[in-house]
Amino acid sequence: LAADFADAIAGRRERGEQLSVTFIGIVGLDIVDGGSDGERLWLDVRIVGQMVSVLRDSLGAVVLGDPLRVVDIPELWTFERQLHSPEPVWQLVATEPEE
């Protein structure tokens, strides 16, 4: 996953493109699933964020997105924690776009 991000950034840099992303806020947050396997607890959380995303070419022209349009981005985030741990810390272990 980190390599994919690095490749995308390198590709944009080579083409002289610039990506601008502005996070507006979270408009939805719902626990959609959860459970335990006896050693760990897990929760799937549907999060809907809003953002403005614009990709510009080397001349500053918009290639993708719209600088005046706020877009809802629904994703599924999975959190886990150890069941018998004294620490009540949940870790983010996966994210994926909602289809």
Per residue in 53-86, pLDDT (tens digit) is 999 999 999 999 999 999 999 999 999 999 999 9
Q: What residues does 94 pair with on adjacent strands? A: 78
Q: Which of 71, 75, 72 is nearest to 98 (CA)?
A: 75
d(CA 78, CA 85): 18
pLDDT value for 80: 97
Q: What is the pTM of this model?
A: 0.77
**Length of the chain in terms of residues written:** 99
Cβ–Cβ under 8 Å, residues 98 and 76: yes
Q: How confident is the model at residue 4 (pLDDT cuts 50, 70, 90)?
A: confident
DSSP 69-88: --EEEEEEEEEEEETT-SS-
